[in-house]
Structure 1
């Protein structure tokens, strides 16, 4: 039964990732459907949708996790999946912006089950199994991030709402699967009461910044994640504005980018760490990020996009390296705190960045004056450049 439950959890996490990625390629057409008057306005509305998802995820992740501690993993997981299925139906039927907004907030609440899903895996795994099984979580998310944009781009060729109906069906079928194969993993005697402290997502962040040596890697991670959010936020609108790409091309390109990220983090990164060490691998990722963002700021051809996309993929060497260095600053009993705070800061960046970069994009493609669709990428490059002195101060935390 454990193997079936484990499979259910991985499928649930994959569906969560699909739910994030499925919207990216169809966002321009979706915004047109609900009344956006231009590419820039559509991008700004899309940024609000992305921010609402990330904001709900940030606020509800600790709540959902604590509810599962109090009432058990199974009911929380199944209810969240059911809400996700309903959300996809709402998104498919939405013809005005505020309905889409409600749908994205619901998706963020339901997507906050990541903490419950990982807790479930910890419950059903032995100490020797946990490392490998947690590694499979990343694989499940990776598959979802590849399938989501591909599904969105291909299915939208039939109809703009087709991706949502397909995703609703997948979530609904997984609810039925879970009803039959998912046992409760948390015994009643191991549960704890749900309290007011479980409603505060900011307490751990303030605590972490007071730990000596931890502030610098946390600041670097936050700024880097904020700057790199320009890619998923603007990709569909940027390629539509510059090259006139359809949802199919946008979806395929995003899926290809997902494959590149998997190759970089799963294949290249271990080799680079072994050969040149953590800090030089971090330097490679940092320089790639800077050059890639500048390149996207000025490109005008598909060839240029492909070249700088490779550098953008290499930039994802940076977050795992900084995360490892942040982990090296604390003892074992604070590792959970650090990882939770890093996830929270990533969620805050995912909330704030879409609002900022889409506003800048709208200003430089719609208003009179300088026409520069790549302006958000150039500003993101400036942000990366500003943390260069902090990045260089991380050398003592790196493993050779």
Structure 2
């Protein structure tokens, strides 16, 4: 075997190992993160029944918002709306922390930042397990929001890989980790909560302890298995952080200003493409997350889905996404990602029309199949495209900014979409938003 072939094989083996490690550590992280998802309405009801002072204060603010939009005072809708606002707080904290975490990883390395953020997440789960008041529960969500840098750091690790095919495979496997985590985690959380309640324990304590166990396992796995993917040369060439406003201002983030102010900025053509990709990413997630948030409202109202039926629906979505990401998405050839994104976003237009107009469960699930295809393809492909920009010493900053734009979209999208839903109804909300996916398709022409 020639030296060139041997070197190529070694690089491929090294890339495969990194991708495997990233998949496992992100899966452990997401399993812990998603355990709480089916419990959130019950947790809010728990603190409402205890007469918690902090809860009552925030409930007053929610009531003002509810009355302004004309939302009916129904217990289930109230808890979902309250949960959505708490979710928006989490996303806003992610918006603030992700670019800073990414920039720090460009300076000090991916591995140290992953260890640090994982320890922060562990401390948040400890607070959750010990929480007996709504104020402590909110503190847990704040800690989790600030420290949840694992996703942007994992995408930066994959972006560090030299082989474009390996980067594409790595981004697809990150998508698979999301699909599996968001499929298995909520089911585990719901089962453990029921078991704990039957045994007479605080229903959320067992899921909290399991989430803590997942984060401990994650920390050990990172310590033992994850190599540092940022080269010493890339660390040494990092010129500092510049103006921190470039990492916090929405305008600067949309323009990727923190990347342009480095000593080795990308070319003007690459910067224009990077900005276009960032806008497509934000616009897509703004529209998608809004309809994703209101989907459970629609199925509850129109088809009277129980919690178990909702769980089956999300299980179907997760299985379809994992199948597409593990099969089609990771085999997309370099240079074909824009076309794949265009096809997936276009599929969302009929998907949400079918869901919004659905008069039976079969029609709903046909729409959900198209929805799942798009959800499996768009984010991994856009992440792959963005990972091609920036030098080795800028990858963390670039991926952190992308993650921050996504978090801002996920903070604003559900609020806007739920407002339209309650003011104009489900059909108008889904039809108008489905038509709005033309906007990211137009923006994609600049990418």
Report TM bin, short chain.
Answer: 0.7 to 0.9
Shift of 1:346: 1.7
Note closer, same or farther for the CA distance 1:297–1:176 as it changes in structure 2 (3 Å cut): same
The 1:393/1:164 distance shift into structure 2, 3 A limit, reads closer
Shift in CA distance, 302/92, structure 1 to aligned 2, threshold 3 Å: farther
1:138 aligns with 2:188: no
> What are the superposed Cα offsets for residues 83-120 of structure 1, whole Å, 9 maximum, x if unpaired?
22232343345455443333222222222133434455
Determine if the alignment matches structure 1 residue 85 to structure 2 residue 85: no
Give the superposition deviation at 1:352.
0.9
1:16 and 2:29 aligned? yes
- Contact 2:277–2:386 at 8 Å: present in 1 too? no
| Residues 149 and 255, structure 1, Cα contact 8 Å, conserved in 2 | no
1:1-400 correspondence to structure 2 within 5 Å: 9-35=22-48, 38-94=75-131, 96-120=133-157, 130-131=166-167, 132-133=169-170, 135-159=172-196, 160-161=203-204, 162-181=206-225, 190=235, 195=241, 197-198=243-244, 200-202=247-249, 203-207=252-256, 212=272, 218-243=278-303, 245-268=305-328, 284-299=343-358, 301-316=360-375, 319=378, 323=382, 341-360=401-420, 363=422, 372=425, 374=426, 378-386=428-436, 388=438, 391=441, 394=444
Q: Distance in 2 between matches of 1:394 and 1:6?
A: 28
Q: Where does the alignment leave 5 or more consecutive residues of structure 2 unmatched?
A: 1-13, 49-58, 60-73, 197-202, 261-267
Cα 1:153–1:302 shift into 2, 3 Å: farther
CA RMSD of aligned residues (A): 4.4
Task: Name the SS of the counterpart of 2:194 in structure 1.
Answer: coil
**SS of equivalent residue, structure 2 residue 37:** coil
Q: Is the 8 A contact 1:221 1:322 kept in 2?
A: no
What is the distance in 2 between the residues matched to 1:248 and 1:18?
Answer: 19
> Cα 1:52–1:72, aligned 2, differ >3 Å: closer, same or farther?
same
- Unaligned runs of 5+ residues in structure 1 are 365-369
Structure 2 vs 1, CA of residues 247 and 215 (structure 1 numbering), >3 Å: closer, same or farther? Answer: same
Aligned CA distance change for structure 1 residues 21 and 241 (closer, same or farther; 3 Å): farther
Question: What TM-score does the superposition give when structure 1 sets the normalisation length?
Answer: 0.74
> TM-score under structure 2 normalisation?
0.67
Decide whether the 8 Å contact of 2:102 with 2:152 is kept in 1.
yes
Distance in 2 (alpha carbons) for counterparts of 1:18 and 1:34: 25
Aligned residues: 381
